[in-house]
Amino acid sequence: MSTRPNRKVLMGSYHLGDRAVPFIRRMEEAGLEVIRNPFGRIYTEDEVIAALPGVFATFASVEPYTDRVFREATDLQIVARYGVGYDQIDVAAATRHGVMVAMAFGTNHEAVADSAFTLMAASVQRTVTHHLRVRGGGWGMDIHPGLWRLTVGIVGLGRIGKAMARRCRGFEMRVLAYDIRPDVAFARENNVELVSLETLLRESDVVTLHIPHTPETDNFMNRERFGLMKPTAHLINTSRGGVVDEGALHEALAAGRISGAGLDVFKQEPPKGSPLLALDTVVFSPHSAGSNLTSEAAVGNRCVDSILAVARGESPGTEYLLNSEVLHPGRGRMSGRQA
């Protein structure tokens, strides 16, 4: 095996394009070779595998990191996820193959909460419907509820859910929350009512989802749970598309069993051919909830910090690793090898 240090970093994220982003320059100035995504879209599994020989780190987007990828990518030491979701990464497989999975926790939750609140306001107030009506030469309004003092149900009271709760306080909203491990102190200090999921669904004017997509949360919002919601209620999803049964959501909206939805994420992205696209009761955004100038810099720099640490033969910090067990002697690909 060659003793020449491996200096290649693969950029999975395609939306950065060829932009001269400061956090990418940090890697280049450190002597790393940054390989940009040439496709202008998400890598397929085969494309990831073909790109990884000689690569020690990936600045990962939502391309697939499967057992097959980790098995083939013998030079890979770290996947630094440009974001906080990791359902596209087989973490157990990464661990078996000694590859660290580093996250950017605590960097974009305020941006996601901004977007969730915006989608909520647009959905409740029929903003897009009114916009398109006027732009098309029409007139007339749809009478809708106001935002002030609505009841908002937050499913998942983590960083993003808490940020959402703080925003709701400014509109004097009643805030309900459901979480399997609730932060009782935060709830008490911020006048958040911790309730059962059934109570939250029955009493909320808006249900906003802030949970990860796992086998346990797959199709979390299903036909039965939509049936518990008010006919005037709205669903907001800025988490992951897999937590919503999109067929059941379409059915509930088309039948008037709920009033509207704001969706940033989908099971298939982009959601080409989805019947949801034909409904004027849904507001859409392109999986952009966590992206603004502030969060892009914070997330990017956190990823770069992890990559540069590994390039120096150091740990990114266990607080950012999903699988810190790979740091144990003999487990990780850092052992006996320089990045």
For tokens 């959601």, what's the residue? 271
Q: What residue type is assigned to position 109 of the chain? A: H
Q: In whole angstroms, what is the distance from residue 302 CA to residue 284 CA? A: 28
Q: Tokens standing for 299?
A: 């997330």
- Which of 177, 185, 187 shows the shortest CA–CA distance to 210? 177
Q: In whole angstroms, what is the distance from residue 230 CA to residue 176 CA? A: 15
Catalytic residue flag (residue 287): yes
Q: Tokens standing for 264?
A: 């940033």
Q: Which are the contacts of 316, defined by CB distance < 8 A and separation ≥ 6? A: 78, 80, 100, 102, 305, 306, 307, 309, 310
Output the CA angle 250-234-61, nearest 5 degrees: 75
Q: Tokens standing for 148?
A: 């002030």
Catalytic annotation, pick one of 109, 240, 250, 333: 240
Catalytic annotation, pick one of 97, 159, 210, 287: 287
Catalytic residue flag (residue 337): no
Catalytic residue flag (residue 210): no
Q: Tokens standing for 116?
A: 């969730």
For tokens 């998400």, what's the residue? 42
Catalytic annotation, pick one of 269, 314, 325, 328: 269
Phi, psi of 8 (to 5 degrees): -95, 140
- Catalytic residue numbers, as ranges: 240, 269, 287
